[in-house]
Amino acid sequence: MGNFLFNLFAVFTVVAAAGVVVNKNAVNAAMCLLLSLVGVAGLFIVLDAYLLAFLLLLVYAGAIVALFLFIVMLLDTKSDARPQLTRIPLVARILAFALVAVGVASFGRLESPDPAAVPALGASLKLYAYQLFTTYLLPVQILGFLLLIAMVGVIVLSKKFEGLEDIR
Amino acid sequence: MVDFYLQLHPFVQGLLKGLAVILVIFPLGGVCSMAERKVSAWIQDRPGPNRAIVPWIAWIPFFGKFLQRLGLFHVMADGGKMLFKEDSLPDHVNKFYFVLAPIVAMIPALTTVTVVPFGAYLDPAGRVIPLVLANVDVGLLAVFAVASLGVYSLILAGWASNSKYPFLGSVRASAQLISYELSMTLSVIPVFLWINAPGAEGTMGLGKAVEFQSLPGFWGGMWFIFLMPVSAFIFLTSLFAETNRQPFDMPESEADLVGGFHTEYGAFKWGLFFVAEYANMIIGSGVFILLFFGGWNPLPWIPIADLVGWLHHLTGSAFWANPFVVGLLSILIFFAKVIFMIFVFMWVRWTVPRFRYDQVMEIGWKKLLPLAIANLLAYAVGIAIVQMKG
């Protein structure tokens, strides 16, 4: 049962993720992203990581994709014209293809670790919280600062600062 | 009967249990819309719906007239109207998402029920076992996670309608829902800080919150509304905003947006939005009662186990020790509280005027959120001190 559900959710996730890339309509793409995230949450549930599944739904599916959709609808992009291939998307594409190639090449070659030996940190609420505040305290703090920087960046970009008076 | 049920495959058992709960929630949504009309009439000092009646009931001399005045048959009339009315599909809409939106509205409303306990029974050892479809230790987190998907139905409905007012309504809805989710989540953390004492198994289950309100002693039997009034206030306010009820019904606000996100909808699709709204209200009220109003305990400081014990003692019959009777009693108590909360929702709706959109944002971000953070910090320090002493 578990294996069947895992395969089902895995295929569902990949198909939905492909839908994000292939769809020309931005709203359809955002909805596919939502489905893909729900599929990943399903995978987490099959793996007994309930906490991760619900956090994924709460943060990504519930808030972030909703904001994506919100922005897409506000901008109302209608043009089907493909954007010019500038340098940054080109580099990103090459990197992405390289990553996929490495992933496919390593398929079946790497020995997956014994499931019993992997500590199930996402299984219990308490264990998860304890790990966040002890072993992984530094990464959590660094990520927090990254988000803070992004937030400050958004404020700087969206507000026009011309003199010191604007800040006060 | 019971033996036959236990023989069934667990999958079929789960299906039956789920269907039973849906069969309660779905019609309750319809009944709530009726109650809303009746309560609003009562508050505004007018008779309200009092005409519809089935002929052969009208022939009953005194009782028939009474039922007619009560307006009970308007539920059936309304339901029939919604089902048989022409279900128009405007030309200018995005057909796929237009049809999808009302369906999406129902999904979170009926999915969150699975983790909300609605009663309890005593096992032979005298322990209280909650009645719930899925008893997972992430409980409340699951409710929040699935309920947060409800925003999609509003966004999609507004966008797919492809006209001005629905779109404005859906834009307001998504901003409002995301803003108030933060305060709501922060306001319940003190409850779980309190019930997850050091050394105990970590949980966010709603059944556990009730268990901690039915302990012996002055502090043990206290409902969390008395222990954490500010949390309860923030939670309730955010609940009004999350369920789009007045004074926070920005997505609809018929005074300035015609009908908000469902302007273009009619017939059964429109009905689904309404049933979903009431189902969300029922579940939200249920969660509020479990967290702050002692769940299925009849009165503060009197847990259900004590009540059943006294009844057993007074009457001396084994009737009160039967788990079915206890389960039914607890469900009745819980539902009485839920119905009272729904009445409070309606009471507020017909008493408080609607906020303006900028006021909604200001209350959410500049008042409720700082209050929630301050409340959380205060309780975190307080609980740490109490638990270090104890």
- Structure tokens that stand for B52 in this block: 């519809």
Question: Considering only CA atoms, which of B257, B329, B284, B330 is closest in space to residue B181?
Answer: B284
User: Is A90 among the domain residues?
Assistant: no
Residues A2 and A73 in one domain: yes
| Position B375 confidence tier, pLDDT thresholds 50, 70, 90 | very high
A102 in a structural domain: no
Tokens of residue B5, six digits: 């049920």
pLDDT tens by residue, A9-33: 999 999 999 998 888 888 888 889 9
**Within a domain: A115:** no
Give yes or no for residue A124 having a pLDDT over 80: no
Q: Which of B145, B152, B174 sits opposite A58 (nearest CB)?
A: B145
In a domain, A94, yes or no: no
Are B252 and B176 in contact by the 8 Å Cβ rule? The answer is: no
Of A83-97, B147-161, B233-247, B371-385, where does mean pLDDT reach its minimum?
A: A83-97
Does residue A161 have a pLDDT over 70?
Answer: no
Best A23, A57, A130 residue to mutate vs chain B (most B CBs within 10 Å): A57
Residues in A whose CB is inside 8 Å of some CB of B read 27, 34, 50-51, 54-55, 57-58, 61-63, 66-67, 69-70, 73-74, 124-127, 129
Q: Is the pLDDT higher at B309 or at A148? A: A148
Instruction: With CB atoms and an 8 Å threshold, state whether B141 touches A70.
Output: no
Q: Identify from B112, B174, B206 which residue to disrupt to test chain A contact, counting A C-beta atoms within 10 A and taking the largest count.
A: B174
Mean pLDDT for the stretch of residues B210-217: 78
Per residue in B60-115, pLDDT (tens digit) is 788 888 877 877 788 888 888 888 888 888 888 888 888 888 888 888 888 888 88
Within a domain: residue A98? no
Of the pLDDT bands very low, low, confident and very high (cuts 50, 70, 90), residue B199 is: low
Q: Is B330 exposed, middle or buried (0-12, 13-18, 19+ CB in 10 A)?
A: buried
- Its domain, for residue A145, covers 136-168
CATH number of the domain encompassing residue A36: 1.20.120.1200
A35, part of any domain: yes
Kindly indicate the confidence band of residue B369, based on its pLDDT and cuts at 50, 70 and 90: very high
Q: Do A57 and B149 touch (CB under 8 A)?
A: yes
Question: Bridge partners of B281?
Answer: none
Across the interface, do A124 and B146 touch by the CB < 8 Å criterion? no
pLDDT bin (cut points 50, 70, 90) of residue A168 is low
Q: Is there a domain that residue A99 lies in?
A: no
Identify whether A117 is part of a domain. Answer: no
The mean pLDDT value for B316-325 works out to: 74
Give the span between the Cα atoms of B133 and B286, in whole angstroms: 14
What integer is the mean pLDDT of A25-53?
86
For residue A124, give how far its alpha carbon lies from the nearest alpha carbon of chain B (Å): 7
How far apart are alpha carbons A75 and A158 in whole angstroms? 16
Let me know if B40 is exposed, middle or buried by CB neighbors in 10 A (0-12, 13-18, 19+).
middle
CA pair distance B132, B115, nearest whole angstrom: 6
Query: From the list A27, A50, A125, which residue is nearest B202 (CB)?
Result: A125
Query: For A90-115, what is each residue's pLDDT tens digit?
Result: 888 899 899 989 988 887 777 766 66
Domain ranges of chain B: 50-84, 91-389
Half-sphere exposure of B32 (CA within 13 A, CB side): 28
Give the total number of structural domains in chain A.
Answer: 2
Q: Which of residues B309 and B2 earns the better pLDDT score? A: B309
Indicate whether B377 pLDDT > 90: yes
Residue A159 or A46, more confident: A46
Considering just the CA atoms, what is the radius of gyration of chain A in Å?
Answer: 20
Backbone phi and psi for residue B248, each to the nearest 5 degrees, phi listed first: -115, 30
Domain boundary residue, one of A60, A78, A96:
A78
- The per-residue pLDDT for A164 is 63
What pLDDT score was predicted for residue A166? 60
A68/A141 same-domain check: no
Q: Is the pLDDT of residue B131 over 80?
A: no
Answer with the one of A44, A78, A112 that is the final residue of a domain. Answer: A78
State both tokens at B278: 């009431």
